[in-house]
């Protein structure tokens, strides 16, 4: 049976969703220095966590738990200010922060451990299927299709998968499946080409999945799972800490585990390069992820800001968020976040400016000027390329910021370089006339 033909004999009221808040997010540092991965800004006005929450809402599955642990204050604030459901609705987005109890004083040891430690909260609610999601991925999916397949195939666990090329294989859990989409073998992040060869998709799958082209493809886990209720409580044992490394390999041996093959645009925002490229892709004429698709909108906090104000300049292929003020600047292939202030004759190319949490007062600006410090935003005659300017940063006049001629990885008191991209951290200050 082709996946598009799976029937949908279920009600979404039987589905409970859990979004994993992620660990320390070291590969996204310094963006995760003061915030968790799901709280990292995206596309000018969103947060990464808005993606799975919006997918749930658009799929008619608004009963959502968000599991958090590290640097979670800004994420908690965003959730509390963004997602408020009607009192007559069954919908909610509830935060389950890591907590110590009388019987367990440890923190989350992995994705499966995080879910297991919240069984006491999950078991109080009615659900037949638990949908487990990641809080740091960019994609649009109707979760009703994966749950429908899960039911039709009589699976205990369904793993959402995506075809990837050989060069991507070492970063994923890779699997094989039989003609009924049942997973028969799973290996975590294989690097040995001989091992990889065993998991290459056979030609019969190209026709079955309507895949065109001759490149080698492998089936990779997306970190998205559907568990039937009984299987969840049976499989997520205390000794198993992670879904990808522990639970799924064991489940394949003892339960019916099936693959759902997703073939849309998907990106794991796990590194600075992935974050940077995904944001800039949103500015292209035909982005892989279309934020303008109103059949499945991306929800976020309503901020009631004024429209962007542009006092002249040249703007090409860029996203300009509400509340921005741009004065005779040149901006190309860039993303400007909320309340971004861009000074006269500034030039930004391939730059992500995350904006500001507030507008600086006149007194604050005068005080900083008296101290020889720039105001929040990008100063006059400043040139920036291939950079990320985090929130509330102060970039002075006549500055130059570029990674050209520098190491791909570098720590400096004023900035960081990761994956060849200059990052000015949150609340950072670059004095007037600085060259980076």
pLDDT for 1 equals 39
- What is the CATH classification number for the domain harbouring 327? 2.160.10.10
> Same domain, yes or no, for 246 and 390?
no
Residue 129 main-chain phi, psi, to 5 deg: -135, 135
Residue-level pLDDT at 2: 46
Q: Which of 281, 301, 328 is the last residue of a domain?
A: 281
Max Cα–Cα distance, the chain, nearest Å: 72
If asked whether residues 351 and 265 sit together in one domain, one would say: no
From residue 427, give the alpha-carbon distance in Å to each of 74, 264, 415: 15, 36, 11
Same domain for 120 and 259, yes or no, is yes
Give me the pLDDT at residue 72, please: 81
Q: Give the pTM.
A: 0.93
> Please, what is the end-to-end C-alpha distance for the chain in angstroms?
57
In terms of domains, do 263 and 185 share one? yes
Q: Which DSSP symbol is given to 247?
A: I
Q: Are residues 241 and 324 in the same domain?
A: no
Q: Are residues 333 and 397 both part of a single domain?
A: yes
In this predicted structure, what is the pLDDT of residue 335?
Answer: 98
Q: Find all residues with CB under 8 Å of 49, minimum gap 6, and list them.
A: 19, 21, 38, 39, 66, 75, 78, 79, 135
Q: How does 25-49 read in b/e, with b if 16+ C-beta sit within 10 Å?
A: bebbebbbeebbbbbbbbbbbbbbb
Domain that holds residue 317: 309-430
pLDDT at 9: 57
Do 347 and 272 fall within a single domain? no
What is the distance between the alpha carbons of residues 347 and 423, in angstroms, rounded to a whole number?
Answer: 17
Residue 271 lies in a domain: yes
Tokens of 308: 């962007």
Domain presence at residue 304? no
167 and 261 together in one domain: yes
- Specify if 259 maps to a domain: yes
Q: Is 163 inside a domain boundary?
A: yes
- Tally helices (H) and strands (E) across the chain: 11, 27
How far is it, in rounded angstroms, from Cα 332 to Cα 419? 21
Look up the CATH number of the domain holding residue 169. 3.90.550.10
Residue 23, pLDDT score: 67
In a domain, 297, yes or no: no
In a domain, 436, yes or no: no
Q: Is residue 324 part of a domain?
A: yes
Q: Which two tokens stand for residue 290?
A: 């279309």
Residues 174 and 267 in one domain: yes
The residues near 130 (Cβ < 8 Å, ≥ 6 apart) are 15, 16, 17, 18, 115, 122, 226, 227, 229, 232
Within 10 angstroms of residue 401's Cβ, the number of other Cβ atoms is: 23
DSSP-assigned states of every residue in 272-290: HHHHHHHHHHTTSSS-SS-
182 and 276, same structural domain? yes
Structure tokens at 247: 């639970």
Who contacts 6 (Cβ-Cβ below 8 Å, separation ≥6)? 145, 148, 149, 152, 153
Please give the tally of structural domains in the chain: 2
**How does pLDDT run along the chain (436 residues), one tens digit per residue?**
345 455 555 678 899 999 998 767 789 999 999 899 999 999 999 999 999 999 999 999 999 999 988 778 889 999 999 999 988 888 999 999 876 665 665 777 889 999 999 998 898 899 999 999 999 999 999 999 999 999 999 999 999 999 999 999 999 999 999 999 999 999 989 999 999 999 999 888 988 888 887 889 999 999 999 999 999 999 998 778 889 889 999 999 999 999 999 999 999 998 999 999 999 999 999 999 999 999 999 999 999 999 999 999 999 999 999 999 999 999 999 999 999 999 999 999 999 999 999 999 999 999 999 999 999 999 999 999 999 999 999 999 999 999 999 999 999 999 999 999 999 999 999 999 999 9
Do both 172 and 277 map to the same domain?
Answer: yes
3-class DSSP state of 166: helix
Q: Which of 281, 299, 327 is the last residue of a domain?
A: 281
Position 300 in a domain: no
DSSP-based three-state secondary structure for 328: strand
Task: Judge if 136 and 15 occupy the same domain.
Answer: yes
């Amino acid at each position: 049976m082709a996946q598009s033909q799976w029937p949908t004999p279920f009600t979404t009221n039987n589905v409970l969703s859990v979004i994993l808040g992620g660990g320390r997010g070291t590969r996204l540092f310094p963006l995760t220095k003061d915030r968790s991965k799901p709280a990292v800004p995206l596309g000018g006005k969103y947060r990464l966590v808005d993606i799975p929450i919006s997918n749930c809402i658009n799929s008619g599955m608004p009963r959502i738990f968000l599991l958090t642990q590290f640097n979670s204050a800004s994420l908690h604030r965003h959730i509390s200010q963004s997602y408020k459901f009607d009192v007559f609705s069954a919908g909610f987005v509830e935060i389950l922060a890591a907590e110590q109890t009388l019987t367990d004083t440890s923190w989350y040891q992995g994705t499966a451990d995080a879910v297991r430690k919240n069984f006491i909260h999950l078991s109080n609610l009615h659900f037949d299927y638990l949908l487990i999601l990641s809080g740091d991925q960019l994609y649009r999916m109707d979760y009703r299709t994966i749950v429908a397949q899960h039911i039709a195939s009589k699976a205990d666990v369904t793993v959402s998968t995506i075809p990837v090329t050989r060069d991507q294989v070492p970063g994923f859990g890779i699997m094989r499946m039989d003609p009924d989409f049942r997973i028969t073998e799973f290996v975590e992040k294989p690097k040995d080409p001989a091992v990889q060869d065993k998991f290459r998709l056979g030609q019969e799958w190209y026709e079955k999945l309507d895949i065109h082209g001759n490149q080698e493809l492998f089936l990779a886990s997306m970190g998205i799972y559907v568990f039937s209720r009984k299987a969840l409580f049976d499989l997520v044992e205390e000794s198993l800490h992670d879904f990808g490394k522990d639970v799924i390999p064991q489940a394949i041996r003892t339960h019916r585990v099936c693959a759902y093959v997703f073939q849309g645009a998907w990106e794991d925002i796990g590194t600075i390069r992935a974050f940077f490229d995904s944001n800039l892709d949103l500015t292209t004429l035909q982005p892989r992820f279309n934020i303008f698709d109103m059949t499945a909108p991306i929800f976020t906090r309503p901020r009631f800001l004024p429209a962007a104000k542009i006092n002249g300049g040249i703007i090409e292929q860029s996203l300009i968020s509400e509340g921005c003020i741009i004065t005779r600047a040149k901006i190309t292939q860039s993303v400007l976040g909320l309340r971004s202030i861009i000074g006269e004759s500034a030039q930004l190319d391939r730059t992500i400016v995350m904006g500001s949490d507030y507008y600086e007062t006149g007194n604050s600006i005068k005080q900083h000027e008296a101290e020889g410090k720039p105001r929040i935003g990008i100063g006059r005659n400043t040139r920036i390329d291939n950079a990320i300017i985090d929130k509330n940063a102060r970039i002075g006049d006549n500055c130059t910021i570029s990674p050209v001629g520098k190491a791909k990885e570098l720590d400096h008191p004023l900035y960081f370089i990761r994956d060849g991209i200059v990052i000015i951290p949150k609340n950072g200050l670059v004095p007037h006339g600085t060259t980076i």
